[in-house]
Structure 1
Amino acid sequence: MVKKNNYIAVVLAAGQGSRMESKVAKQYMSILGRPMLYYSLKAFQDSQVDQIVLVVGKEEVDYCKEHIVDKYSFKKVKSVVVGGKERYLSVNNALQAIKESTEDIQSGENCYILIHDAARPLITQKIIEDTIEGVTCNNAVVVAVPTKDTIKIADETGGIDYTPKRSLTYIIQTPQAFELELLMKSYEEVMKDSNLEITDDAMIVEHGSKHRIQIVEGSYKNIKVTTPEDIKIAEMLIGM
């Protein structure tokens, strides 16, 4: 019997986006007439992922179910989970929900998690496909693009410590994808250390395991919408 691979997308939409200077959380702001969150969910809905776990703020669960998931018929969204105070806690909440539902995954099947920021509405099918191919082969991958600028590493005084070789530096994007068991075991280890500053999902695996993470080539168009100017850029790129 051939083993079946299961792919689950976790879409993070629980942030407030204070730099957007808006009373509306940025993931619900309009881009070409649709909420920003729509574009990430649509990309995964149309992809080969088996299901989507959507992570939102506590007060937004019912709104998202009615006005986004149901309205746009995102059938692959199997659960809407309340996020945590920090990004990695939101992912952990999603993992717990996935763990509770993994009885649907038969013994011997492989399960992979693709974690994506709703603030990156320009994710493409190619990026998703390349991420799935990468994580299936390596169990841990991040989407990234080569850095165009020279990077300087500073010390705590603001002075330049050293300059890494530019050809070895990358701008990390999402999705970031991991084999489920590897990610969950890494979380168990990281949760024991409250002093870690976790800024992306790869850091969980970096600190919680010895597994080597590989890079999957992303796109410079896969921008993170952070400021009002980014909305205009996103609209231009989506409309191209």
Structure 2
Amino acid sequence: MKKYAVIVAGGSGQRMNSQIPKQFLPIKGKPLLYYALDTFLASYEDMHIILVLPEEFLDMGKEIIDGFFDPSRVTITVGGRTRFHSVQNGLALIDEESVIFVHDGVRCLLSTTLVRRCFDAALEFGTAIPAIPCKDSVRMLLEDGNEAVDRSSLVLIQTPQTFHSKILLPAFQIDYKEKFTDEATVVEAFGLKVHLVEGEENNFKITTPLDLLLAEQLIG
């Protein structure tokens, strides 16, 4: 079955104290964004990437694609005002039955094993959402204070969130709501349950300079 990876890379460098969006910051001589793209393309020979970028950085994205990859396997499109709208813009380019991965471009340390695990689960269950156990103690904020929450009942959600096209494409036709923090919440609002799969500890999102340093050590 055809495979598409919609890689969303519309963030800014605000928390990185950088003028350049974090997805373009260098790690080991390559832009951070390179590593996620490379993993997806290496996972399956028939994988096609739809890269979603801020309009003002489309040219920079094209330089990365032309410099490191086969441009015929990557399509670049412009993002929207929210993650939901950015993903929606990427999905608008898919018009065939397929398995669709949606991934944060700044989760640069995912493995081909995780990509394939998500694909296999999506074929079986229709959805595949990577998750890892919550290791920290957790408390819920209440109007009159706070209370402990049993962490054994909680998991931390990652990407690539993976779906059969017959599920994801119609789900993204519904109206946007602020509670849509990821694709799983959209699919649930559409009336479907999602299936969790084992994620990876190294598949963290780069948001701070410390994250960038850690990623550099792990890649090195």
| Interval containing the TM-score (normalised by the shorter chain) | over 0.9
Give the TM-score taking structure 2 as reference length: 0.93
> Which residue is equivalent to 2:21?
25
Residue in structure 2 matching 1:206, options 167, 180, 188: 188
CA–CA distance in 1 between the matches of 2:72 and 2:120? Answer: 20
* Distance 1:43-1:76 versus aligned 2 partners, 3 A rule: farther
Q: What SS does structure 1 have at the residue aligned with 2:56?
A: helix
> Which residue is equivalent to 2:77?
81
* Distance 1:158-1:113 versus aligned 2 partners, 3 A rule: farther
> Which residue is equivalent to 2:48?
51
> Which residue is equivalent to 2:115?
128
Do the aligned residues in 2 keep the contact of 1:187 with 1:204 (CA within 8 Å)? yes
Q: What SS does structure 2 have at the residue aligned with 1:121?
A: coil
Q: What SS does structure 2 have at the residue aligned with 1:43?
A: helix
Runs of 4+ in 1 over 6 A off after TM superposition: none
Q: Provide, for residues 117-164 of structure 1, a one-character-per-residue CA deviation record: whole Å limited to 9, x for no partner.
A: 111000101111111111111111211101111222223x3722552x
Specify every segment of 5 or more residues in structure 2 that has no aligned partner in the other structure, as ranges.
Answer: none
Residue in structure 2 matching 1:170, options 140, 149, 155: 155
Do the aligned residues in 1 keep the contact of 2:119 with 2:128 (CA within 8 Å)? no
> Which residue is equivalent to 1:35?
31
* Distance 1:76-1:153 versus aligned 2 partners, 3 A rule: farther
Determine if the alignment matches structure 1 residue 140 to structure 2 residue 127. Answer: yes
> Which residue is equivalent to 1:61?
58
Displacement, 1:50? Answer: 2.2
Determine if the alignment matches structure 1 residue 231 to structure 2 residue 216. Answer: no
Determine if the alignment matches structure 1 residue 215 to structure 2 residue 215. Answer: no
Q: What SS does structure 1 have at the residue aligned with 2:51?
A: strand
- The number of aligned residues is 219
Q: CA RMSD in A?
A: 1.6
Give the TM-score taking structure 1 as reference length: 0.86
Q: Provide, for residues 9-41 of structure 1, a one-character-per-residue CA deviation record: whole Å limited to 9, x for no partner.
A: 111111114211100100000111110000000
Q: What SS does structure 2 have at the residue aligned with 1:23?
A: coil
CA–CA distance in 2 between the matches of 1:88 and 1:158? Answer: 33
Do the aligned residues in 1 keep the contact of 2:65 with 2:74 (CA within 8 Å)? no
Displacement, 1:168? Answer: 2.1
Do the aligned residues in 2 keep the contact of 1:45 with 1:74 (CA within 8 Å)? no
Q: What SS does structure 1 have at the residue aligned with 2:68?
A: coil
CA–CA distance in 2 between the matches of 1:111 and 1:45? Answer: 16
> Which residue is equivalent to 1:159?
145
Specify every segment of 5 or more residues in structure 1 that has no aligned partner in the other structure, as ranges.
Answer: 103-109
Percent of residue pairs bearing the same amino acid type: 34
Q: What SS does structure 2 have at the residue aligned with 1:98?
A: coil
Q: What SS does structure 1 have at the residue aligned with 2:138?
A: coil
Q: What SS does structure 2 have at the residue aligned with 1:141?
A: strand
* Distance 1:195-1:72 versus aligned 2 partners, 3 A rule: closer
Q: What SS does structure 2 have at the residue aligned with 1:178?
A: strand
Greater displacement, 44-53 / 75-84? 75-84
